[in-house]
Amino acid sequence: MKSLLTRATLALTLAIFIAGPAAAHRQWMLPSATVLSGQDPWITVDAAVSNDLFYFEHVPLRLDGLTVTNPDGTPGTAENQATGKYRSTFDVHLTQPGTYKVAMASGGIMASWEENGQRKRWRGTVENFAKEVPATAQGLQVTENARRLEFFATAGKPTETALKPTGTGLELAPVTHPNDLFAGEKASFKLVLDGKPAPDLEVTIIPGGIRYRNDLGEMKVKTDKDGAFTVTWPTPGMYWLSAQAEDKKTSVPQATKRSASYIATFEVLAQ
């Protein structure tokens, strides 16, 4: 429990859970830059949960499960981590040339049951589920979640090593390099679930800057039989991409379904 979720995250996720899916707060990471040149590039990153993209207006995104993958595939470091009232921040020093993946992955079990006439809710790891949730719980409902947030940043020439999916949960397998995106051009990606093509999923893409326009500007596309989809970026800017998959591949037998979500931020440059 403690290793995966801090108390604050628990409070947040419970709040979202209780409020139900209608309260669709968006989770996101926003890098200061994704295409960099120079001798000693750094990026700084904001991480938050909010309605409008990309504004700090609700709660910070806790930095648990944050990983940096260096261009050579080795783990990197997220420096200067801090969490404030509305956002968390961290820095990444791009010491190697090439493409970095910054990801926040988490997973767990959500359970609810009746106890003394009251609905009890629990969230935790697969390991703690058996220990903390009574096996004889009345009206037990269990679901499993896997969540992943990502973005990519490149110092110098874009490389491929860090782009490789981990093979767990819902992930993006880029066809077009994610740091080579330009307004008016088409980009191709694939979604994979546990490393295998994820067909027929709805992908939502929303440009940032929502506060200063009336139209949400949301684009929806479906993955084909190979999990592939394409996006033509209408304007330059930061974009938020989100997709969700459900299946029955659960790690605890009591869970009825697994829900896997993927969220990424992409920077699209002007021509």
- Chain positions contacting other proteins, by CB under 8 A: 35-41, 154, 156-158, 180, 182, 269-271
Q: How far is the CB of 175 from other proteins (least distance, A)?
A: 17
Three-state SS at 140: strand
CA distances from 230 to 90, 142, 186, 190 (A): 31, 35, 7, 9
Q: Count Cβ atoms below 10 Å from residue 102 Cβ, excluding itself.
A: 24
Q: How far is the CB of 36 from other proteins (least distance, A)?
A: 6
- State which residue, 112 or 159, has the beta carbon closest to other proteins: 159
- State which residue, 113 or 239, has the beta carbon closest to other proteins: 239
Q: How far is the CB of 35 from other proteins (least distance, A)?
A: 6
- State which residue, 41 or 124, has the beta carbon closest to other proteins: 41
Q: How far is the CB of 157 from other proteins (least distance, A)?
A: 5
Q: How far is the CB of 269 from other proteins (least distance, A)?
A: 5
DSSP state of 269: B
Report the half-sphere exposure of 175 (CA within 13 A, side-chain side): 13
Chain centre to alpha carbon of residue 99: 18
- State which residue, 17 or 182, has the beta carbon closest to other proteins: 182
Integer-rounded Cα Rg, in Å, for the chain is: 19
Structural contact between residues 49 and 60, judged by C-beta atoms closer than 8 angstroms: yes
- State which residue, 38 or 117, has the beta carbon closest to other proteins: 38
